[in-house]
Chain A
Amino acid sequence: MAGFYLFAAAVLLLPWLGIDPYFITVVGVAAGLHIILAVGLNLLMGYAGQISLGHAAFFAIGAYASAILTTRYAWPGLLALAAGLVLAGSIAWLLARPILRLHGHYLAMATLGFGVIAHVIMVQASGWTGGPDGLGGIPPLNLFGWVVDSDTRWYAVMAAATLLALWLSLNIIDSRIGRALRAVRGSEFAAQIMGIDTARAKTQVFVVSALFAAFAGSLFAHQQSFVSPDSFNLAISVELVTMVVIGGMASTFGAAFGAIALTLLREGLVVFEDYEMLIHGALLMVVMIILPQGLFVGIGQGLRRVLALVLSRQP
């Protein structure tokens, strides 16, 4: 938990360091959103070893639930958020058993299909979702009378939400379920022999992961006050997977680090205009070749090795 307190301190101190407010309120909020998504996906990918290429769909369910319920039915934001969580959780629960029976490429294909189907529904069900042009006019989030309508307030909310996600993730991993998940990742058969209900463990983590994404989706809808299918396409799902992989699988802070790194990278590369995607791709390739275990985990291991070397040299 030391890492958690360190991270919390960094989040609290960030606004007072005199950095350009743009990087705090816009980039920082975007990074927070990505951290929630990546940490949630990391539970499924990193710890349980199950890939999901359709995670943007759960992100979308949360976002559209909040968007539709608050604009068309005038639900309060928090209630809509809860409804989004229930909906995403239920769908994940229903999908988990059939989908998570699959392994490797087949699981990737199935989750990919789920993401694409969700995207098609967003585009086609225009009566509900507003179609390809999206849905606007989403009111700001109202937290028991405290209206989140300014950049600074959003930073506060996103910081709290991010810390909550990290705290939950760290606790889940340290629990019995977390140990069961790691066993599943190591070997499903071995885990079964140890007496772990693997199907149940996988279902649980899939649902939890979907809840993280839906939670981020609701916040996203209120923060942008506009949602459209563009925000939840395949590219976003792939980007989330990249965040987890780049940061380092099976490490909560690795996923968070990957989310921050990719958010900052995109921001930094904007100045290259036409070459942005080229540099983006090249950097990812280089990282994967040099540090296949991920930036955060890889650098951590490297530092430890250097430290061990230095200590062993001493007489």
Chain B
Amino acid sequence: MRSDYLPASRAGTPARLKLRDRLAIWRTALLAMLLGLVVTWAGAAEPIRIGAFLAVTGPASFLGDPELKTLQMGIAEINAQGGVIGRPLELIHYDTGGNAREAVNFVKRLIRKDNVDLIIGGTTSGDSLAVIPEVEKAGMPFISLAAAVEIIEPVKPWVFKVAPTDRMAAARILADLRQRNLTRLALISGDGGFDKSGREQLLALAPQYGITLVADEFYGNKDTDMSAQLAKIRATDAQAILNFGFGQAPAIVTRNIKQLGITLPLYHSHGVASRTFIELAGDAAEGARLPAAALVVAEQLPDGDPQKPVLLAYQQRYQAAHGPVSTFGGHGYDSLRMAVAAITRAGSTDKAKVREQIEKTQGLIGTAGIFNLSPADHLGLGTEAFRLVEIRGGNWHIVN
């Protein structure tokens, strides 16, 4: 019966025909499925590539390591919630070891080979400053995690940063000195980029606060004893000592001060705002004051503080996964939130649009403070970025 409907030539071999038809159907279905897969992969699920270059090893590893862990944690969380503008985030990370030359090479790789949509990184000021020509030339939104004010001054269109500047830290210290009526200051600082930049800011700002520098001593960041420099300071009529430095050296300075029996009020920079410093310096650190990010004293903040819930939320999540938080990890958290918010507002990863939206960031409550960016200010932090803290009983306490 069926053969009536079929052409005569094919009527004789119905079984083979059926097989061939079935195969064709399967093939078409498979093809459609593959096509569908490609379409969804290309359209909806194409990841947003975030490039990162951090100093996870080397002398600045205690900065870079929490930054990387925070970025990984943050991106995993965002992806678990469905990503940004319907696309997952992908982190492409390279370790610079704190070497500016490596940083430049990796940024070239991120831009040209990995085709990232945005770059976060530059753990140290040296790393960040080194890559600025590259990102500016390529037109790549770049959020730096480093401190130096030169990164954003003068303003560069594609460069932003989330870490408060050393100038703000210096200003906070000087304001407290003036308040305590300590006008003769002895400065001791190291030979690193952080130290030098901080020292310059301090020298520039001190006259505005009516403070005179009676000593300006240096040490090498790898030195194991700073007694000689401190003995010189003891011979001056200084009313307070400020040590602008980071790493292990400030802990040695602090111990040497106690060993020499110097009782002058001691100030440090925000470079030592980590638990390691208190552990290394021990008792000698008692009474030392320093400007620190709110994250260090999150629990002690008054309940009305807008930053408190953000800080506690980050702290809780980071501690659950990796242990104690540091302000540097906080910079990673802020940069990621700033980037994600900008991409969401831009509705795409178009670099010019994302750049424009980062610049328009308003009222973003981060761990470092409340960000209000503008075309003239690519950091946008207010004075709340630094809280003056004192070390008492082996812990930080807010000074009012």
Our pick among A26, A132, A225, A274 for the contact of B108 (Cβ within 8 Å) is: A26
Q: Report if A187 contacts B (CB, 8 A).
A: no
Chain B: CB-nearest residue to A124: B191
Q: Which residues of A contact B95 (CB under 8 A)?
A: 273-274
Segment of B123-131, B176-184, B304-312, B315-323 in the binding face:
B123-131
Using known A-B contacts A21-B112, A230-B101, A270-B109, determine if residue A131 contacts B196 with beta carbons closer than 8 Å.
Answer: yes
Q: Nearest-CB distance from A247 to chain B (Å)?
A: 21
Interface string of A223-255 (1 = CB under 8 A from B): 011101011000010000000000000000000
Among A132, A225, A231, A273, the one with the most B-chain Cβ atoms within 10 Å of its Cβ is A132
Establish whether residues A228 and B126, one from each chain, have CB atoms under 8 Å apart when the complex forms.
yes
Q: Is A197 an interface residue (CB 8 A)?
A: no
Q: SS class of chain B's interface: helix, strand, loop or mixed?
A: helix
- In whole Å, how far is B261's beta carbon from the nearest beta carbon of chain A? 31
Q: Which residues of A contact B196 (CB under 8 A)?
A: 126, 131-133
Number of A-B residue pairs at CB separation under 8 A: 73
A residues near B105, Cβ cutoff 8 Å: 26, 30
User: Is A134 an interface position by the 8 A CB rule?
Assistant: yes
Q: Chain B residues near A236 (CB, 8 Å)?
A: 101
Question: Across the interface, which residues of A come within 8 angstroms of B192, CB to CB?
Answer: 132
CB of B113 within 8 A of CB of A136, answer no
Selected contact of B193 from candidates A25, A30, A132, A270, CB within 8 Å = A132
With A and B bound together, what is the CA distance between A230 and B105 in angstroms? 13
Select one of B101, B130, B193 contacting A131, CB under 8 A.
B193
0/1 per residue, B111-137, Cβ < 8 Å to A? 011000000000001100111110000
Does B100 lie within 8 Å of A134, measured CB to CB? yes
Nearest opposing residue in chain B for A276, CB measure: B95
Given contacts A22-B109, A228-B126, contact A133 B148 (CB under 8 A): yes
Name the A residues within 8 Å of B108 (CB-CB). Answer: 22, 26
The number of residues on chain A lying at the interface, defined by a beta carbon within 8 Å of a beta carbon of chain B, is 27
**Residues of B close to A81: CB separation below 8 A:** none
Q: How far is the CA of A173 from the CA of B146 in the complex (A)?
A: 48
* A21 to B132 alpha-carbon distance, docked (Å): 22
Any B CB within 8 A of the CB of A211: no
**Within 8 Å CB of A123, what residues of B?**
191
Interface residues of A, dominant DSSP: helix
CB distance from B329 to the nearest CB of A (A): 19
User: Using Cβ atoms and an 8 Å threshold, which residues of chain A touch B109?
Assistant: 22, 26, 270
Quick check: A136 and B112 within 8 Å, CB to CB? no
Q: Cβ of A20 < 8 Å from any Cβ of B? A: yes
Complex: A224 Cα to B104 Cα, angstroms: 8
Q: Which of A26, A126, A134, A228: most chain B Cβ within 10 A?
A: A228
CB contact list, A89-145 vs B, under 8 A: 123-124, 126, 131-134, 136-138
Closest chain B CB from A234 CB (angstroms): 12
| In contact, B130 and A134 (Cβ under 8 angstroms) | yes
A266 → B minimal CB distance (Å): 8
Q: Considering the chains assembled together, what is the distance between the CA atoms of A226 and B159 in angstroms?
A: 16
Question: Are A224 and B133 within 8 A (Cβ)?
Answer: yes
Of all chain B residues, the one with the shortest Cβ separation from A23 is B113
Closest Cβ of chain B to A85, distance in Å, is: 22
The residue of chain A having its C-beta at the shortest distance from the C-beta of B127 within the complex is A230
CA A26 – CA B105 in complex, angstroms?
A: 8
Residue of B with least CB distance to A21: B112
In the complex, what distance in Å separates the CA atom of A274 from the CA atom of B56? 10
Neighbouring A residues of B129 by C-beta, 8 Å: 133-134, 136, 226, 228
Q: How far is the CA of A225 from the CA of B99 in the complex (A)?
A: 16
B77 close to chain A: CB less than 8 A? no
Q: How far is the CA of A226 from the CA of B135 in the complex (A)?
A: 12
The distance in angstroms between the C-alpha atoms of A242 and B178, with both chains bound, is: 56
CB atoms of A231 and B100 under 8 A apart: yes
Shortest C-beta distance, B22 to chain A (Å), equals 42
Would A132 and B191 be within 8 Å (CB), given that A26-B108, A26-B109, A230-B100 are in contact?
yes
Known contacts A20-B113, A230-B100; A136/B193 CB under 8 A: no
9 more contacts with CB within 8 A, not counting A132-B126, A270-B109, are A21-B112, A22-B109, A25-B112, A133-B150, A133-B197, A226-B129, A226-B133, A228-B130, A270-B106
In the complex, 25 of the A-B residue pairs with CB atoms within 8 angstroms, ordered by the A residue number, are A22-B108, A26-B105, A26-B112, A26-B113, A124-B191, A126-B196, A131-B193, A131-B196, A132-B191, A132-B193, A132-B196, A133-B129, A134-B126, A134-B129, A136-B132, A151-B112, A224-B104, A226-B104, A226-B131, A228-B126, A228-B129, A230-B99, A230-B100, A230-B101, A274-B57
7 residue pairs, one from A and one from B, having the closest CB atoms: A132-B193, A225-B133, A230-B100, A22-B113, A231-B101, A22-B112, A133-B193
